[in-house]
Chain A
């Protein structure tokens, strides 16, 4: 994590939005899966055209969340002190 005292490094270093997306979708996925397994009544399933949507949407969300985590792990944000990396820094300077 970069701090504000390192002006070049701070920009890419602060946080990775992909992990926040994964966190949100993952937590929703867990809630829905649990709801789908244990707490969705027959009546509610009937209402949703016979589909246990909580369960299926929950599983789907867990998969999506996992994909985001994998993406973030495989291509991590690089704090551009060494430059030239995936999230490089040269164009950044152009804006200033």
Chain B
């Protein structure tokens, strides 16, 4: 999360920069308008009619995650921890994305469910469904509000607009294209956003590297700066986990971050899975996260490296990096979260500056649009259609989707204003919601591969898993467990995973499972092989369209990157 300070971050934007910004927004709204014409049923609105090609959904898949927290937060981590931050990408995302594409997508796409909570309902029945659906919807509103607040505060810092003006303008833009064009508009904009971020950050990284004298120069400068050479090697990453023991640190990264946290996030978070569900065939759905993994592998180079460059070149950090590393407050008022902005301020001329600002705003808005477009789907299909008004004509749900999108936006604006008064509350709540993901993965994976798992096990595993994570988190906040840094969330997630498995198995053995015929298509052993596989002919033919092979390539490249850095 960003903590905003009174540092001098005002960028010197000129008319040409504003023209570039305005042009971007015209295209964003234009996409909403064009996508509107494709919407004629609720499935069009909520799942793009399951019609998109894999490269589009693949880019949207990572773009939906490339929001404010990712771009600003990961460059901040780069400034603070250095290269160990890459674990969030190479360990904390890639394996889970491959797993989603290879193992889990056949069940999601093959069972024709329209959302992740709907899968829950068919596999475990209503109690688990409610727990999952309601917590997901609430979390999305909260995160949308957080994105909105961050966007507004960055606009405020950079351009000097009042906070409330930027909150309302940004919300109105996001609302207009998501309410018009539904998921298609959100996804197409995510693809556009991805390219804007890339063309904004690649030049920044390049001139940053020129400035420090290339990679070698960066290595020398970081070695001589506070934090030292530990910031130049991804392993063991002691400084990131705060465990103070290399073996524990590696274990924490691999199991806590790499296994529990990231698998929970990438494989069960509907914001992500929805993008794959929108693709046009089983083959494309399986390729979605795998295609997304290619750019995901490279994102750290344009996010973390600028952060590291900022930490050794920006005058405020050169002066106060040690103070900031010790948890103090810099005299100039900067925090690590300002790293990217400060680097932009120091390096970019007018012209390039406008594109960089467009890239940042794009990332914040697309993050919020992703939250809204998954919120409206879960609310409409999983809460309203399942529990309130069941048998209305499809048109009713399409209209409801638009109304819910608007209501969600208003709630997010409210959340953003609460956040602007007390930023820390939002921080804590985000931590808490992230704990819903960890036990979810345990429940899903057990439910997909163990047909004996019962409906009661479904909800009780989730509830107790989440409670155990909250307990661990609470104890460390109170200082009882003596954990610091990112280690807290790794341990909390790990605990939640184990508790969920134990509770689920115990409850399953004591209660009655669902009959086999209700689980066809949802559980591995009861799903005929043909329905798990995809058609490999026609437009799905060719070696470069085989999910397994693509996943293999990604895996080899990721391992190579880990060895190099």
Q: Which residues of A contact B (CB under 8 A)?
A: 3-4, 7, 10-12, 14-15, 17, 20-21, 23-25, 27-28, 31-32, 35-36, 39-41, 44-45, 47-51, 53-54, 56-58, 60-61, 64, 84-88, 90-92, 94-96
Contact = CB atoms under 8 A, between A and B. Distances in A.
B195 interface: yes
Contact of B47 (A17, A45, A95): A95
B40 interface: yes
Nearest to A96: B43
Interface in B21-43: 23-24, 27, 30-31, 34-35, 37-38, 40-41, 43
A45 B355 CA distance: 17
A88 B38 contact: no
A91 B20 contact: no
Interface band, chain B:
35 or more
A7 B349 CA distance: 49
B199 A91 contact: no
A86 to B, nearest CB: 6
B210 A51 contact: yes
A28 B43 contact: no
A50 to B, nearest CB: 7
A12 to B, nearest CB: 7
B351 A49 contact: no
B362 to A, nearest CB: 10
Interface string B273-303: 0000000111010000000000000000000
Contact of A87 (B196, B210, B352, B539): B539
Contact of B211 (A44, A49, A61): A49
B177 interface: no
Contacts of A87: 53, 539
B421 to A, nearest CB: 36
Given A24-B27, A45-B349, A91-B50, 6 more contacts: A4-B37, A24-B196, A35-B351, A50-B210, A51-B210, A95-B112
B16 interface: yes
Contact of A10 (B27, B37, B191): B37
Contact of B24 (A17, A24, A48, A94): A24
A31 B280 contact: no
A92 B210 contact: no
Given A17-B192, A57-B199, A92 B350 contact: no
Given A24-B27, A91-B281, A32 B351 contact: yes
B564 to A, nearest CB: 25
